[in-house]
Every structure is written in structure tokens, then in C-alpha cells.
Amino acid sequence: MNTSADSVPPLPHRIETIRAHQARGGRVAAVLPIHHPRALFRAFDILPVEVWGPPQVDATRGGAHLQPYVCSIVRNALAYLLSGGLDLADLIVVPHTCDSLQGFASILIDFIHPAPPVLPIYLPRGRRASDVAFLAEEFKSLYRQLAEITHRAPSDVELMECLHREEEADARLADLYRRRAALPQKDFYRLVRSREYLPAEKFSEIVGAALRAAPNGRSQGAPLPTPILLSGIVPEPMAVFDALDRMNAAVVADDFACCGRRLYPPGKSDDPFTRMAERLLTAPPDSTRDDAIEDRLQHLIRLTKESNAKGIVFYDVKFCEPEFFYLPALRKGLQAAGIPSVTIEIDLNDSLSQQVSTRLEAFVEMIA
Amino acid sequence: MSLVDSLPYQVPLTFGRAALRVNRWRAERAAPRSKSEHLAPPLKISPRTKELIARHYLEGRYANRHRKVAWVTSGAPVELLKALDFYVLYPENHAALCGTARAVEEIATEAEHAGYSRDVCSYARTDIGAMLSGKTPVGRLPKPDLLLACTNICQTVLFWYRVLAHHFRVPLIVIDTPFIYTEATEHAVKFVQRQLEDAIPLAERVAGKRLDERRLKETTRLSKQASELWLEIMARGKQRPAPISVFDQFIQMAPIVEMRGDAFTVDFYAAMLKEVDERIARGIGAVKDEKKRLLWDNLPIWYRLRYLGEFLAARGVAIVASTYTNAWGELAPFIDPERPLASGARTYLHPILNRGTGYKLATMQRMVAEFQLDGAILHSDRSCKPYSIGQIDQRDRLLREHNVPALLLEADHNDPRAFSEEQVANRLEAFVEMLGV
């Protein structure tokens, strides 16, 4: 169990969760970033457990297959898989998020041949009617593959039940975001990120308990921290929150691919596949889904205003092309809107460097 | 447009075209001479290539005055736009042209100063730099009225075209082509076809005219013919000695990329094929003393084409086949001019860059066998992840399972700052020695 402040109930560890699920006869899918249909896996009694790197692994094994200009999320994932880190997984799911994850899935399928089956999912780059229709078909195709692997065939009713559980968990996630000030920021992100591996019902239960136990208002005392917004792919190393605490800065909103960009609204359709597609395609703007720069800019400005953030930190993983392309126009637009910003590049294998801390501190001092 | 209104466009264009024609005639009359004692003289068609490219950019320079302009990705379904009379510009080709003109460092720096990371594609940095600064070796680029990005070559183009759409404030059509890990699914084919159909009303609105189905079929037919001719030209590389090298192909591929769907492109490649056949009949090899034959994988290193060609030719090594140049011909069988949209969906789903790493290895193995190759150079291109990821395993398979010597060469297709000449020379020297030249 992970324990933390009094207001946050103990969080089950990832490995405990996996073992408990498997002990009950369920299967586990290792799922690469970012967007995927959790409900579909759960309908087959498969627990999706996400693999965001993980950080701080020996990445040299990944280097035997991937060039040095591939980001550390993908290199680490491969190194982790090759060193047995995903041995507990019954299948590996790779959403088509970017060119690097595309290549990752392709070399697994064609050359590395891991023991579990590898299932890629193509995510369309748009929010048009044709994109929803295609994604629903893609999920039906995934359903057929999962049925073949598990020898199960969940009905539409069962799919809808799972979908409603996920929608409920996402509603709790949204509640958590609304009351984030009540929790220490590192605990808040631990809770948010437990969605990466906890079953929806467990997540809803824990978040509900945390919010009931949380004090009304802010968790920290005076002096008032400097409010900032973090944007990027993944908040690693988590030590960044300790550093921000020391600088008396508070993350009051985020635009992380693994967090705020996955506040999926409920779907509308009565067809479970279409509903799953609708949910993914109506989430907040995301670079990896090819949203217009203006849409991302307006989203960031709105988040900044609503949260009273005084500035934005773009906290990106090195070599992340989707994020890098948007930065100049976003920063220019933010500057025009009077919102200062700074960019910081990280590698998942680095601890929080002095250089990063200094840049953060200088930025926080500037906007305070 | 009245005659008077068209004068500012027609006059410079007429004089410009005439000047280019004169330049070509002069170049054609002069006996072609090799710049290296180890290489055959340049193809006689080369002055015509230069004229075509220069004319294309000359027309672009004045295009905004009388035509609608579209900027498109190299793998985009351009036939739709050609049939609607758009002037079509390929930013990737423009970037490559900047590469051969050694202008990238200066232009890309403009983008870097604006905040674009050096870790993003050097084609994109070059064109964004040109967009922001106006710097270009072709004089001036026309502003787009429409953008068309197709994901069948990479995801990079999506982000790049979002930048263009934001800067120029013009509509962007995205044709999303789901990546093919093993086989294309029927729902992916339908998805692409639906997007092509959905793109037509917007393209028509920008063009200010309706799409003529007969015109679309004719444009598609011309694309197919040019692609078939290009494929035939490349197949001539199976001859010993190979009449043209991959370095020749890199230079001569501009029309098949940026002038698909035009009748003059078909004529051009028909003439080129004739010349290549004449070379075969006369026993002329691209490399005078061809001892070993290699495959090139991935994009060219545009700013060092001559250096690499001469370096290898001096050692009797000819690069005679390439997965990259092959990509512009291998789709020809998919194209059905009578069913432009339905066949277009399959065609534009299937470029090598939109297919799995295993398919690329199979393509390399097939080319090694068909062209009787002695080895392969895999350009690990830091600006092209979709082409490069998988190369480490592909090289290992070529070596271990097929006994084909293969070299992984680290560089960048357009940014000379990522090219270490000494390191490249050492690695090539060692590789050539290993081949037993």
C-alpha cells in the first residue's frame, strides 16, 4: 500500500492490484499511452494497466532495438518489457499515439515477438463523424481479437455496464480535479495516476473516500503558494512536486496527457462501441490527436483563467515531436494573452536535475 | 480574369519560361561531362529535369495572382486538387531543394530562433523557417489557399500542417490513413474513402468550381502512367552494370513526387526510360567500374549526395536500388483510373512508410534478390522516425538470416549539422573493405 497524508486513503500498489485481479481469474493487459477503451477490456475481465515508461529503468536493452533519438517513454517501455517487467501481462496493447509508438508496436509484432499477443489500436486524428465511425469499428475489431484470446463474448448489456462504471470513475476523477486544492499536490497526482491501474470501481471508491476525508478549502497553510499550470505528457519524476512545494508553488491545473487530457466526458450513444469512441474523441484537446493549435491555446487560456494560475510550465519529454511542434505558437498566443510560460525538457531516466529545479524556481519567482 | 488583369502574371511567366527553355537548349547542346572520373556523365535528360523544377517554382512565384494554391504532403491524394486546377506545392520537396542548395542551416535556424526544437523534423524546420523569414532559394513561395495533409508518410506532417494552418489561417484537410501493421482492414479502407469523398466539397469551395469526374479520371490515369514508367526505370537497375544509380534517381524523382497527374511528367519519364535503355544498349554503367552493388534504405542525405556518390564510385560501389525511390512506383498497380476514389483509398493507404517494419524488411530482401545486391546501407535518419525505427532489427535480420552485409549510417536527411563527414567516411570505408572491394 502507498500511504500518504491523512486525507488520502492508502492506495493499493500496482503489483498488488495485478496479482489480486489475476488471483480472481482475470487477465491483465499492459497498455501503452495514451487513449484506450478501458470498458472494453473490463468487459472481458481484463484489467488494463498502463505503462508510461516506466521511469528510472535500465534503458540499455531498449537501445538494442531503438535509436537514441526515440523518447524515453518508448525506450523505457521496451527495456522494461525485455527485462521481464511485463511478464505478468497476458496481452500488450499499443494505441497508435505517435510515430515512436507506431514503430514500437511494429517491431514487437515483426521482430521481438513477446510471449503475450500484441494488439495495436489506431486512433483517428480528428473529431469528425467519420472518425467516430472508424474508431467504433476499430473497437469492434479489438472486441473480436479479445474474444479470440479469452473465449468470451460479452453482450452489449455487459459492455454498457462496464462503460457506465468507467464513466462513473471519470466523473469521480472530475470531482477530484474540482477539489484538488484540498489535497497535497503529490497525493493528488498519486490518486489521479492510480486510474492507470486501478479497476474503475476501486478508483471511484478511493476517490470518494479521499474527498469525504479532505478538508474543505486548501490543504496547505500560509504563505499562499504561487499557482501554476503544468502541461506535457507525464509528470515524472514525481519529485517535481516536492520541488514545487519547496518553492511554495502549487499546481492548480494541468494539461498532462496522462492526467487532465483524459477527463473523458460520458458518451451519448446507446451503442457501446460508438459510445466508447465518442468518449475518447470528446476529451480535452491533445497534441497527439492533432487538435488545432487554436483549440489547444483556448483550452490552456481557459484553464489558466479558471484556476487563477499565474503561468504555465511546459514540462515535456525529450524528443516528443507532437508536443514540440505546438510549443512556439502556444507560447506566443499565451504571451499575447498575458500568460507567461517556460519550457522544460526531461528524460524519464533522469532524476530531477538541479538545472530543472533552477529553471522552475526562476520562473516561479518571476511570476510570484 | 481579363487580359489586362492577367498581364502581371503572364508576362513574367512567358519570359521566364522562355529563358528556362534557352538554358535547357544550351545545356543539352553542351556534351555532358562527368564531374568524377569514376562516374558516367550525367543523364542527358538532366537539363530537362532542371527546367521542369525551375518552371514549377516559377509558376508558383506568380500563382497567387491567378490560381488557387494548395500545399500538400508528398503522399497526399493530389489528383483531386490537380483536377480542380490548384497550383500544388510540396513543402517537403521545397525543403529537399533547400538541402541540395545547402541553404538549410540558415533557413532552419529561423525556425529554431522562433522556438522550434532541433529535435523536430529538419524538413519541417526548413519550411517553417522559410515561412517565417521568406528565405528560399527559389525566389518566393506562393501562399496557400488550402492545405492537404495525409498521414501515410508520418504523423509529423499533421503537427507541421497545424502550424501552417495556424500561420496562414487557411483550411486544412486531413486524410488520415490508419497504419498497416500487417494487413489493411476493410474499415480502414472505407474510412479513407469516406475522407476523400468528404474532402471534395471543401476543396471545391476553395477552388470555386465543381470537380469534373472525367478530369479526375484523366489525372489519375496520368499519375498511374508516370508511376509505372518510374517503376520501369528503377527496374533497369537490375542490369549489370546498372545504367543509373540511386543518386541519379534521387535527382530525377522530383517530377514523380510533385508533378504527378500531369501529361508532361509522363512524357518526361518516357524520355528518361528511352535514354536509360540506350545506356544499357551501349553498356554504360552509372559507376564506371562497378564491382559491388548496394541497396539504400530511407531518405537521401540531400546535402551530401555528390560526396556519397563519388566516395562510393571511387571504390567501385554502385548503389542501384532504394526502398525510398521505389515507394513512388510500387503503388502503381493499386491505381485504377476508372475508380479514382475507391482505388485512391487503397493506394494512399499502402505507401511503405504506412506499413509495418516487417513489410519493409521483406521489401529489402526482395530487392536484394532481384537486383543481385551485395549489401545494404540503412540511413538512420534522426528526422524520420517512422522510416528509421525498425532499422536496427532489419539490419540484424539482413545480416544474420540472409547473410547480407548491412550498415547503419547515422545522419539526417536535411540538416548538415547532424552529419559527421569523418565518421561517415570511416564507417563507409570499413564497410566497403568488408565487402571485399
Mean pLDDT for B357-381 is 98
Q: Give pLDDT, residue B303.
A: 97
User: Residue B167's closest chain A neighbor by CA?
Assistant: A329
Tell me if B390 and A106 make a contact (CB, 8 A cut-off). Answer: yes
Asked if the ipTM is above 0.90, the reply is yes
Alpha-carbon span B236 to B273, nearest angstrom:
9
Tens digits of residue pLDDT in B381-419: 999 999 999 999 999 999 999 999 999 999 999 999 999
Which residues have CB under 8 Å from B91's CB, separation 6+? B71, B73, B123, B127, B160, B164
| Residues in B touching A99 (Cβ below 8 Å) | 154-156, 385-386, 389
Q: Of A233, A160, A172, A234, which is closest to residue A198 (Cα–Cα)?
A: A172
Alpha-carbon span B321 to B408, nearest angstrom:
16
B275 by Cβ neighbours in 10 Å (0-12 / 13-18 / 19+) ranks as middle
Q: Give pLDDT, residue A4.
A: 54
User: Residue A323's closest chain B neighbor by CA?
Assistant: B159
Q: Give pLDDT, residue A76.
A: 95
Report yes or no: B55 and B331 within 8 Å, Cβ to Cβ.
no
pTM of the complete model: 0.95
Helix axes A200-213, A185-193, angle to 10 degrees: 160
Tell me if B393 and A328 make a contact (CB, 8 A cut-off). Answer: no
Residue pointed to by grid coordinates 545547402: B102
Query: Residue ranges of the alpha helices (H) in B114-155?
Result: 122-133
Alpha-carbon span A278 to A126, nearest angstrom:
12
Question: Mutate which of A71, A107, A113, A347 to disrupt the B interface (most B C-beta within 10 Å)?
Answer: A107
Tell me if B389 and A69 make a contact (CB, 8 A cut-off). Answer: no
Q: Of B184, B158, B174, which is closest to residue B354 (Cα–Cα)?
A: B184
Tell me if B162 and A326 make a contact (CB, 8 A cut-off). Answer: yes
Q: Give pLDDT, residue A223.
A: 62
Tens digits of residue pLDDT in B264-311: 999 999 999 999 999 999 999 999 999 999 999 999 999 999 999 999
- Pull the grid cell for residue B309: 556518390
Alpha-carbon span B291 to B437, nearest angstrom:
7
Q: Of B309, B288, B315, which is closest to residue B435 (Cα–Cα)?
A: B315
B41: left (phi over 0), alpha (psi -120 to 50) or beta: beta
- What is the DSSP track for B69-88? EEEE-TTS-THHHHHTT-EE
Q: Give pLDDT, residue B341.
A: 97
Mean pLDDT for B177-193 is 98
Tens digits of residue pLDDT in B239-262: 999 999 999 999 999 999 999 999
| Residues in A touching B117 (Cβ below 8 Å) | 324, 327
Q: Shortest Cα distance from A172 to chain B (angstroms)? A: 33
Alpha-carbon span A353 to A355, nearest angstrom:
5
Q: Of B167, B88, B171, which is closest to residue B134 (Cα–Cα)?
A: B167
The DSSP bridge pattern shows strands B317-322 and B292-297 to be: parallel
- Which three-class secondary structure state does DSSP give residue A170? helix
Q: Give pLDDT, residue B9.
A: 79
| Residues in B touching A145 (Cβ below 8 Å) | none
Alpha-carbon span B432 to B312, nearest angstrom:
8
CA distances from B247 to B35, B318, B433 (A): 14, 9, 21
Alpha-carbon span B427 to B434, nearest angstrom:
11
- Which three-class secondary structure state does DSSP give residue B425? helix
In this complex, the residue of A67, A128, A137 whose CB is nearest that of residue B388 is A67
Find the radius of gyration of the CA atoms of chain A.
Answer: 20
Q: Give pLDDT, residue A3.
A: 47
Question: Mutate which of A130, A293, A294 to disrupt the B interface (most B C-beta within 10 Å)?
Answer: A130
Q: Shortest Cα distance from B429 to chain A (angstroms)? A: 23
Q: Give pLDDT, residue A183.
A: 92
| Residues in A touching B341 (Cβ below 8 Å) | none
Q: Of B111, B101, B159, which is closest to residue B134 (Cα–Cα)?
A: B111
Q: What share of chain A is helix, strand, coil (3-state, %, to 5)?
A: 50, 15, 35
Residue pointed to by grid coordinates 486510474: A195
What does each of the 368 residues of chain A score in pLDDT, given as a tens digit?
554 555 677 899 999 999 999 999 999 999 999 999 999 999 999 999 999 988 878 888 899 999 999 999 999 999 999 999 999 999 999 999 999 999 999 999 999 999 999 999 999 999 999 999 999 999 999 999 999 999 999 999 999 999 999 999 999 999 999 999 999 999 999 999 999 999 999 999 999 999 999 887 665 555 689 999 999 999 998 889 999 999 999 999 999 999 999 999 999 999 999 999 999 999 999 999 999 999 999 999 999 999 999 999 999 999 999 999 999 999 999 999 999 999 999 999 888 888 889 999 999 999 99
Average pLDDT, chain B: 96
Of chain A, the end-to-end C-alpha distance in Å amounts to 36
